[in-house]
Structures are given as C-alpha cells and as structure tokens.
C-alpha cells in the first residue's frame, strides 16, 4: 500500500479462555486503513467489536491478542509498553461507543469529562481547556455549548449524548477514530444528524475512520470500503460502491434478507449458513 497507510492489521487473533476451552473471537483478520472511511460489518459474534477493541488496546486482560502485524503509523502496537499505549489511546486513536447512556460517566458533567480527556494528553490551563471543550461542542453542532457543558449525561437526549461523546473523542485531534455502532442506539432521524457530523469531521480533518456496525445498508451508504466479517474472519473486502456485485454468499445473503420499502418479497429470503464460510 502507499505511504499514507495509517493502520495495518495482519492475521489478528483474539482468544478468550473459557471453562470449555479456548474461544477464538477473531481468527486471523487482515486489512489496512488509509485516511478513509472503512466499514466493518458483521452479525453478533462475528468478532467485529473485538477487532476494534484489539486495535484500541481494550481487550479484556484474560484474553490474548496476537497478530503477524498490528501497526499504527509505523508503530508496532503489540510490542510497545502499556504506558506508550495509554499515550496513544484517546489521543491519536479514539473510540466512540454505542450507547452514550452507558459510556459516559453519570456523575460527571459533560464538560468536565471532555476537559479531563484533553488535560490527560495535553498540558493546557483550565481556562484554555474549557475554551477548547466549548469549541468542540460547537463543532459537533450543539447549539448552546455553554449550557450543555454543565449538564450531566442523564439530562441530555441520546443524540446529544452521542455528540458529546464525539466531541470528547475529537478534542485531542486523533488520526484514527474507531466508531463501534455509534448510531445504533439512536432514532433514525437523529442517526443521520450524527452521521453527517462524523462525516464532515472525518473529511475536514483527514482522519481515518473505522465504522463498526451490523447494518450493512448504513455502512454501504456511509463508508468508502467495507470489510465483511463472519465467525471471526474477514470473508470479503469490497468498495462500498461495488457492494451490489459482492461475491461472497454471506455478503449477498445479508444484503438480501432485509425488508426494503417498495420490494414485496414474502417470505423474505433467509441466510443458508454454510459451514465452509467459517472454515
């Protein structure tokens, strides 16, 4: 790949020990990412979230991560110290989680949480941190940043909470953003607002984005490229614009089985899962 490859993942494996033996959540996923929007799509248990977490360094301690290569901007993520990893996390690599209700601290005002992220990574005065937090809240199209700054997560709507989380992740100016189902907990119309904000920020700031979702249709309309995962493996990588010509039966089945407005199909086609897909 060209020089501006941001992230390289080769043969990533995430293994969990369980009572009944080892479970491989991710079984050899490989892809690379430039300054683009990459979608990872798959159903529950496909390993898409564990892939994102492994890149972020948020795999639970009992699990084991291995890869031939897992490098971010030339740095080998698996061999650097936890301290160096911490310096990356939230600073150069950021992550947006699914539900602002659970992923924001309920006993800390939104503004303080954003300032905390900033002051962890940069030496700035309190006043300047506040200024920058307000500016970032403005950037995610919150109309009255000064008011929202002092609100607690339970006092705002889901869409507003998700914007606050995006603001928190943006404030350090990350180069890679991992968004794990960032809009699944939101209403459809709010979903589009949040996606618009994300889209604008990614293209303006030249970030790389990994967008993890179960919704193939949403991903195909938002991302440049799509990685399809099934049972811990990447079964297909395809340009979003060419998704209609997807070759793998799983990708096609996934596209097909959703009801669509204006297409009468009774009964809906269902996926006929083949054991060799997981092989």
Partner 1 sequence: MTAAIVVEELEVVFDRFRALKGVSLEVREGESYGLVGESGSGKSTLLRAITGLAPVASGAITVNGKKLGKSRDKAFYREVQMVFQDPYGSLHPRQTVDRLLQEPLAIHGIADGEKRIERALDEVGLGKGFRFRYAHQLSGGQRQRVAIARALILEPSILLLDEPTSALDASVQAEVLNLLEEVRRRRKLTFLMVSHDLAIVTHMCERLMVMQNGEAVETLTASQLIGHRVNADYTRNLLRASEGFVRV
Binding site for partner 1 (CB under 8 A): 43-44, 158, 187-192, 195-196, 199, 214-218, 220-222, 253-254, 257-262, 264-271
Dist CA 240 CA 250 (whole Å): 16
Dist CA 102 CA 106 (whole Å): 8
Locate all alpha helices (DSSP H) within 228-272, ordered by sequence: 249-256
Dist CA 73 CA 129 (whole Å): 27
Shortest approach of partner 1 to residue 267 CB, angstroms? Answer: 4
Q: How far is CA 227 from CA 2, 22, 221, 258, in A?
A: 19, 25, 14, 19
- In this complex, which beta carbon is closest to partner 1, that of residue 142 or of residue 195? 195
Token readout for 172 is 């350090």
Dist CA 161 CA 119 (whole Å): 21
Shortest approach of partner 1 to residue 239 CB, angstroms? Answer: 15
Cβ atoms 9, 29 nearer than 8 A: yes
- Closest C-alpha among 98, 40, 14, 72 to residue 240: 40
- In this complex, which beta carbon is closest to partner 1, that of residue 28 or of residue 253? 253
- In this complex, which beta carbon is closest to partner 1, that of residue 133 or of residue 254? 254
Shortest approach of partner 1 to residue 101 CB, angstroms? Answer: 12
Give Dmax over CA atoms of the chain in angstroms.
62
Shortest approach of partner 1 to residue 250 CB, angstroms? Answer: 9
Shortest approach of partner 1 to residue 215 CB, angstroms? Answer: 8
- In this complex, which beta carbon is closest to partner 1, that of residue 26 or of residue 56? 26
Shortest approach of partner 1 to residue 200 CB, angstroms? Answer: 9
Token readout for 265 is 């199909």
Whether a cis peptide bond, with omega within 30° of 0, leads into 267 is yes
- In this complex, which beta carbon is closest to partner 1, that of residue 131 or of residue 187? 187
- In this complex, which beta carbon is closest to partner 1, that of residue 145 or of residue 208? 208
Shortest approach of partner 1 to residue 196 CB, angstroms? Answer: 7
- In this complex, which beta carbon is closest to partner 1, that of residue 120 or of residue 196? 196
- In this complex, which beta carbon is closest to partner 1, that of residue 74 or of residue 267? 267
Contacts (Cβ under 8 Å, ≥6 apart) of 124: 118, 132
Shortest approach of partner 1 to residue 220 CB, angstroms? Answer: 8
Dist CA 13 CA 127 (whole Å): 44
Half-sphere exposure of 278 (CA within 13 A, CB side): 13
């Amino acid at each position: 790949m060209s020089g501006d490859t941001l992230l390289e993942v080769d043969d990533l494996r995430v293994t969990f020990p369980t009572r009944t033996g080892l479970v491989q959540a991710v079984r050899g996923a490989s892809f690379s990412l430039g300054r683009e929007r990459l979608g990872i799509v798959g159903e529950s248990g496909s390993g898409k979230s564990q892939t994102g977490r492994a890149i972020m360094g948020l795999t639970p301690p009992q699990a084991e991560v291995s890869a031939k290569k897992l490098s971010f901007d030339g740095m080998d993520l698996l061999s650097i110290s936890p301290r160096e990893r911490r310096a990356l996390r939230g600073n150069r690599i950021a992550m947006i989680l699914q539900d602002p209700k659970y992923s924001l601290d309920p006993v800390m005002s939104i503004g303080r949480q954003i300032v905390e992220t900033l002051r962890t990574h940069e030496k700035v005065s309190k006043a300047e941190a506040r200024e920058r937090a307000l500016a970032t809240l403005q950037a995610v199209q919150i109309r009255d940043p000064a008011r929202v700054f002092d609100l607690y997560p339970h006092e705002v709507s889901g869409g507003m909470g998700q914007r606050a989380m995006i603001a928190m992740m943006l404030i350090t100016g990350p180069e890679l953003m991992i968004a794990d189902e960032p809009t699944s907990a939101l209403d459809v119309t709010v979903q589009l607002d949040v996606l618009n904000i994300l889209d604008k920020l990614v293209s303006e700031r030249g970030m790389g984005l990994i967008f993890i979702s179960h919704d193939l249709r949403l991903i195909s309309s938002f991302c440049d490229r799509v990685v399809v995962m099934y049972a811990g493996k990447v079964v297909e990588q395809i340009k979003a614009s060419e998704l209609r010509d997807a070759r793998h039966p799983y990708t096609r089945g996934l596209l097909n089985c959703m009801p669509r407005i204006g297409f009468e199909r009774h009964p809906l086609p269902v996926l006929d899962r083949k054991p060799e897909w997981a092989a």
